[in-house]
């Protein structure tokens, strides 16, 4: 499941991934973000994935570029701070980054949400 809270003043989305998360969950979430917040122009988001169990990670990695293209079509720039605390999932986050390069997209992996938030504010 993916839930979110929004800081409308700072225009930052805080996404929380918990339980089982599939490719379609991520795709639906990115489409919702694109529909609801495209008027911001720039997307700044944390993705706290510490509580998530990704279903079929190889399929998610294979579709990384397509997933990012959903956001890239709606925003002029994208900055996502991924929060991880497990070695394997951290490695998957870096592989996602490798597979999803886009001219207007930055991702960085963090251990603490505070550090991701500080980076987004820069």
Closest to 89 measured CA to CA, from 107, 59, 69, 109:
109
Per-residue pLDDT of the chain (122 residues), as tens digits, is 999 999 999 999 999 999 999 999 999 999 999 999 999 999 999 999 999 998 988 898 888 888 888 999 999 999 999 999 988 787 777 777 666 666 678 888 999 999 999 999 98
Task: Name the domain count of the chain.
Answer: 1
Measure the N-to-C terminal CA separation of the chain; round to a whole number of Å.
Answer: 29
Domain that holds residue 106: 2-121
Whole-structure pTM value = 0.89
Q: Concatenated DSSP letters for 29-84? A: HHHHHHHHHGGGSEEEEEEEEEEEEESSHHHHHHTHHHHHHHHHTT-SEEEEEEE-
Q: In this structure, what CATH number is given to the domain that contains residue 39? A: 3.30.750
């Amino acid at each position: 499941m993916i839930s979110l809270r929004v800081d409308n003043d700072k225009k930052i989305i805080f996404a929380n991934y918990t339980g089982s998360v599939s490719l379609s969950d991520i795709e639906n979430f990115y489409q919702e973000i694109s529909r609801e917040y495209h008027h911001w122009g720039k997307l700044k988001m944390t993705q706290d994935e510490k509580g998530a169990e990704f279903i079929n990670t190889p399929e998610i990695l294979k579709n990384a570029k397509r997933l990012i293209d959903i956001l890239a079509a709606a925003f002029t720039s994208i900055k996502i701070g991924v929060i991880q605390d497990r070695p394997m999932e951290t490695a998957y986050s870096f592989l996602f980054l490798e597979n999803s390069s886009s001219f207007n997209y930055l991702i960085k992996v963090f251990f603490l949400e505070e550090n991701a938030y500080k980076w987004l504010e820069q």
